[in-house]
Structure 1
Amino acid sequence: MREMVRMRRGTWTAALLAVTVTGSLMTGCTTGGGPGDDGRAPDPGRSRSPSPDESGTGRPDTGSVLAVKIDNVPAARPQTGLDAADVVYAEQVEGGLSRLMAVFASRLPKAVGPVRSARESDLELLRQFDDPTLAFSGAQRKLLPLIDGAPLHPQVPGKVTGAWYRGGGKAAPHNLYLRPRQLVGPAPGEDALTTGFRFGAAPAGGTPENSRTVRFPSARFTFTWSAERKRWLVAMDGTPTVTAEGASVAPATVVIQYVKVRQSKYHDFLGNNTPYTETVGSGTARVLRDGRAFDANWSRPGASDGTRFTTTDGGPMNFARGQVWVVFAKA
């Protein structure tokens, strides 16, 4: 029965995405043409056909995490709702720029955004969650069949009435926002975070660390330890990361995960190759917590597995309780 539901949902999703999304990418983003990218808010008074899910409302009936692709170019900042995420993944996109994927389980903010387009790497990254919902503005046309066949609930503007809106103060395409509770209902809770992360006391060792910067070709992230807040203050491209609501984004744990970043078969509108970030496999990492840095190893044997972090002597690499940032750096 579950497979039949997925097949029906897939047919409707493919049709909706084909209408919503254009087939080309601009540098680091998807160009417009549908209700998610043309600069206009979806009309809440216009009836659109929902996907035939179990609830019959167009909403995914999952009880799993909500992952949202978030714009991260300067024109998109300050972002909204980023401080409420349980996990924030930072990945490289076209032109050496960066994009974020915020994963929500413990609580859902009133709004999240600006929302942008999906990438092929997202599908592998999200396999570690059970039937997640992925909210995004669109994707390259050739990628749509992969999204349609992935074990997730794709959600684009117009599929759930009232869940999406265009905010003021920013120009399109940097002004598309999501109301998470109208899209997925209540937060599923921490049990939905099947990342493989362990939380607990810090391991022995480590070295004192006040600040650490991770550089992409055209972007950089800096994490500075605040002894007063017992958190890492985030700065992106040299600017402190504060949400549109005035909240500082300050994770308890930062993971710099060294991975293979290779070329994919996709390109943006200008011909720049879309990087593919490989999150299945193994490698090294640098974990920041409690004002200290720890050398670690990571392992994710298969796409449906969570990522296990261990110390260099094989012990568990526990994270501090609170928000976790994972920055995928090129090995």
Structure 2
Amino acid sequence: MSTSGTKRSAAAALAVLTLVITAACGSSGGGETSPTTAPAPRAAVLAVKIDNVPAARPPTGLEKADVVYVEQVEAGLSRILAAYSSDVPSAIGPVRSARETDLELLRQFDEPTLAYSGAQAALRPSIEAAPLDALPPSKAPHAYFRNGDRAAPHNLYLRPGGIPHPTGRGNAAEDLGLRFAAPPPGGTPVSGRTVSYPSARFTFTWSANGGQWLVGMDGAPSRTASGGRLGAATVVLQEVDVQDSRFHDRGGNTSPFSATVGSGSAAVLREGRSYDVTWERDTAGSATSFTTEDGRPMTFATGQIWIVLVPK
């Protein structure tokens, strides 16, 4: 090959390489860019089991959670599992005991810390074997305190600053693979929805002025410890099979287990509309995906997400 031919070949190769690099880095036209660095580390998630009977309300610090799970427990009552990462408050509670449902839900996160008041003896081996950092008061006594203004057992609170829990590594919702973006097309206008357990009731009412779904429990507005309204940017009503587990509370009531591995229907509420979606979770180690009727991944409004496990 001639010298000029060699130079032309080198120039062509350089042009191709330049084109590839330019495409990878994006353009100045504002289009999407492809990542050129390693993915950000997954969120360091702190999960707290929160009491939710009337005597335990209002909760402290719940409004700061990235994701709020609502689940049915004994006697048809409800409890909350709140996941924190982007904003961890100085106090959270009241803290109550863990359930089998919590262990399956938390498999979706990357070795989260679980703060809880305790658990029945039969469940403790499962907690110890789970891929999480179990943190009851017996393991971190200085991270918990009793509120003298409330009666036990509704007066135990967590001081997250008292535990070696890293923060500031992203949003727990993104750790689940949920994406904050513009809403998909479609959806049905709706002003509110209600979910009932045998002994608990939740309402979610759209507030256009506040841009959120205001939460109500048992017919009353739900408030924070500082007096503000509890509200969610997105609410997921996820239909699940609720089964009797092999565990019981001290009163002999069977502990229900909400199965979150599998598939089913759900409704996603965002910005005053309801979207019918399908949820799917193949294994306990995988995250739950939510897909619209036309096969697209469901997107979520920026802000707190409530996921209510609704008995089929």
- TM-score when normalising by structure 2: 0.84
Corresponding residue pairs, total: 270
**Who is 2:293 aligned against?**
312
Which of 62, 87, 110 is equivalent to 1:130?
110
Letter in 2 for 1:210: S
**Who is 2:177 aligned against?**
196
CA distance in 1, matches of 2:184, 2:148: 46
State the SS of the aligned residue for 1:201.
coil
CA distances 1:31-80 after superposition (whole Å, capped 9, x unpaired):
xxxxxxxxxxxxxxxxxxxxxxxxxxxxxxx9720000000000000110
CA distance in 1, matches of 2:268, 2:59: 25
CA distances 1:249-269 after superposition (whole Å, capped 9, x unpaired):
111000000011101011122
**Who is 1:228 aligned against?**
209
Whether the 8 Å contact between 1:158 and 1:164 is mirrored in structure 2 is no
Is the alpha carbon distance of 1:246 and 1:191 closer, same or farther for their aligned partners in structure 2, counting shifts above 3 Å?
closer
**Who is 1:172 aligned against?**
152
Letter in 1 for 2:116: F
CA distances 1:11-41 after superposition (whole Å, capped 9, x unpaired):
xxxxxxxxxxxxxxxxxxxxxxxxxxxxxxx
Which of 237, 250, 253 is equivalent to 2:231?
250
Q: Where do residues 245-284 of structure 1 align in structure 2 (5 Å cutoff)?
A: 245-284=226-265
**Who is 1:106 aligned against?**
86
CA distance in 1, matches of 2:230, 2:91: 15
Q: Larger deviation: 70-79 or 190-199?
A: 190-199
Identity, % of aligned positions: 58
**Who is 1:293 aligned against?**
274
Give the drift of 1:270: 2.1
Q: Larger deviation: 62-71 or 123-132?
A: 62-71
CA distances 1:285-316 after superposition (whole Å, capped 9, x unpaired):
00000011110100111111111101112112
Q: Indicate yes or no: 2:132 matched with 1:147.
A: no
Whether the 8 Å contact between 1:117 and 1:139 is mirrored in structure 2 is yes
CA distance in 1, matches of 2:275, 2:153: 39
**Who is 1:321 aligned against?**
302
CA distance in 1, matches of 2:282, 2:79: 25
Give the drift of 1:191: 5.3
Q: Larger deviation: 86-95 or 261-270?
A: 261-270
Letter in 1 for 2:94: P
Q: Larger deviation: 87-96 or 179-188?
A: 179-188
**Over the residues paired in the alignment, what is the CA RMSD in angstroms?**
1.4
Letter in 2 for 1:136: Y
**Who is 2:199 aligned against?**
218
**Who is 2:35 aligned against?**
none
- TM-score when normalising by structure 1: 0.79
CA distance in 2, matches of 1:128, 1:184: 21
Q: Where do residues 18-57 of structure 1 align in structure 2 (5 Å cutoff)?
A: none
Whether the 8 Å contact between 1:252 and 1:321 is mirrored in structure 2 is yes
Q: Larger deviation: 77-86 or 244-253?
A: 244-253
Question: Structure 1 regions of 5+ residues with no counterpart?
Answer: 1-61
